[in-house]
Amino acid sequence: MSLQTHLSQLAAKHDALERELHDAIQSPSANDLRIAELKRKKLQLKDEIQRLQTNETVH
């Protein structure tokens, strides 16, 4: 798998988590632990995307 393909897949997962997080926050029965978990996963994906993009520009 190429780096660009991998980055695209990570970006798609990040977008999906963003939508899921938005829906969870809007829900009247929002679970704080679930929201925190979604935010953590979203941040991990963002960090991985940035790390890969940084490595791509170095090489």
Could you read off the pLDDT tens digit of each residue along the chain, which spans 59 residues? 799 999 999 999 999 999 999 999 999 888 999 999 999 999 999 999 999 999 877 76
48 and 11 Cβ atoms separated by less than 8 Å: no
pTM, 2 dp: 0.84
Cα–Cα distance for residue pair 25/47, rounded to 1 Å = 22
pLDDT recorded at residue 44? 98
Give the E-state strand segments of the chain in sequence order: none
Residue ranges making up the domain that contains 28: 3-58
Q: How many domains are there within the chain?
A: 1
